[in-house]
């Protein structure tokens, strides 16, 4: 009886340690709750799909921010795709020249995955240079893709 009781207590202790240890060792969630960029919003663009969703083809949009030489971008779901699991991405590339003609690229940051609200934020240092931003949303229920890109944010 004592052996059974000791064994049960040992199992319970191991379970408690495992559960509490996982609280402290767990990494951050796959996607932050806010997905925000710091700084001032300097622009963005819409992402329209090939197939209408609830009478609209706008799947989401990309926002671009700037602060102290750093640019930040994120892809955001629109109301008709908000909260639905889908493949989303955002990329931020730094142009090697100070013009918006982005033929040569230097640094980049990107985020690609299955999200419900946001992809990103992604950041890169681009003081005195221009950036090229790419956003994409693939919406499985309609088997449709919405992608766009834009250059011209120079700082």
User: Would you state the pLDDT for residue 49?
Assistant: 77
pLDDT tens sequence across 33-63? 457 899 999 999 888 876 655 555 788 999 9
> Residue 76, class by beta-carbon neighbours within 10 Å (0-12 exposed, 13-18 middle, 19+ buried)?
buried
The fold adopted by the segment(s) 40-154 is Immunoglobulin-like (2.60.40)
DSSP H or E run through 63: strand 56-67
Does residue 60 contact residue 78 with C-beta atoms inside 8 Å?
A: yes
pLDDT tens sequence across 63-111? 999 999 999 999 999 988 899 999 999 999 998 876 667 777 787 899 9
Q: Is the pLDDT of residue 6 over 80?
A: no
Q: Is the pLDDT of residue 16 over 50?
A: no
pLDDT tens sequence across 102-151? 777 787 899 999 999 999 999 999 898 889 999 999 987 766 677 777 87
User: Would you state the pLDDT for residue 151?
Assistant: 78
């Amino acid at each position: 009886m004592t052996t059974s009781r000791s064994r049960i207590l040992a199992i319970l202790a191991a379970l408690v340690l495992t559960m509490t240890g996982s609280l402290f060792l767990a990494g951050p969630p796959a996607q932050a709750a806010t997905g925000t960029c710091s700084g001032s919003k300097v622009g963005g663009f819409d992402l329209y799909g090939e197939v209408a969703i609830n009478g609209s083809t706008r799947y989401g949009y990309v926002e671009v921010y700037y602060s102290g030489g750093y640019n930040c971008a994120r892809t955001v779901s629109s109301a008709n795709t908000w909260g639905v699991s889908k493949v989303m991405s955002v990329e931020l590339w730094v142009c090697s020249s100070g013009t918006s003609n982005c033929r040569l690229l230097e640094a980049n940051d990107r985020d690609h995955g299955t999200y419900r609200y946001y992809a990103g934020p992604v950041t890169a240092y681009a003081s005195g240079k221009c950036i090229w931003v790419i956003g994409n949303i693939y919406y499985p229920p309609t088997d449709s893709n919405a992608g766009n890109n834009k250059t011209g944010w120079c700082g």
